[in-house]
Amino acid sequence: MGQTEVRVTLPDWVDRFVEWDCPYPSDEDRMRLVIALARENVERGTGGPFGAAVFERDSHRLVAVGVNRVIESNNSMLHAEMVAFMLAQQRVGSYTLGAAELPTHELVTSSEPCAMCLGAVLWSGVRRVVSGATWEDARKVGFEEGPVFPESFRFLEEHGVTLVRGVLRDEAAEVLRDYLRRGGTVYNG
């Protein structure tokens, strides 16, 4: 008899914390939300210092959010981006956010995607990725990005994904540094 089910969950506080119907008109507005999620996740002790969200690119409607759940869920796949993608795809009822009948979607993430999440970006169907802290910021704290190379980013761009880096970079990186100061676990570092 093996395991047959895994539950991927957001912490209880998230749904109350997020203003679902509030407008997020600029990249900075959207980045402030995911940085706040990352910070709150650390302060409440519910995961690593990372937050992400999926938006409709043109209406700026918030579709789903994610926070890092790796240690708390015993699941190394549960980076904030992965959680946000899973919840967004479930919400729209499609395995691709790029389905022809859907509006165009984008990912906003407090820290640049690692190798796994970059691959997931491609399969997710989002057409734009906005990130805050860079991989250099993450690395300074001890988080590795894995096999990510300049051609990884070029590959995504060649496949129609627009990448925007370093939005509110200092605020985003500060959450990483604060996690380290609090003695947070840097897994697989």
Which residues sit at the interface with its own copies, rule CB under 8 A? 1-10, 14-15, 18, 20, 62, 64-65, 70-71, 73-77, 82, 85-96, 114-120, 122-125, 144, 146-147, 149, 151-152, 155-156, 187-188
88 versus 171: smaller Cβ distance to its own copies: 88
> Could you tell me which of 106, 169, 167 has the C-alpha nearest to residue 137?
169
Cβ-contact 14, 67 below 8 angstroms: yes
State the nearest-atom distance from the C-beta of 30 to its own copies, in Å: 15
State the nearest-atom distance from the C-beta of 138 to its own copies, in Å: 13
Query: Residue 185 is encoded by which pair of tokens?
Result: 């676990």
How far is Cα of residue 104 from the mean position of the Cα atoms in its chain?
A: 17
46 versus 171: smaller Cβ distance to its own copies: 46
State the nearest-atom distance from the C-beta of 182 to its own copies, in Å: 19
Angle between helices 27-43 and 169-181 (to 10 degrees): 10
51-56 and 128-133 strand pairing:
unpaired
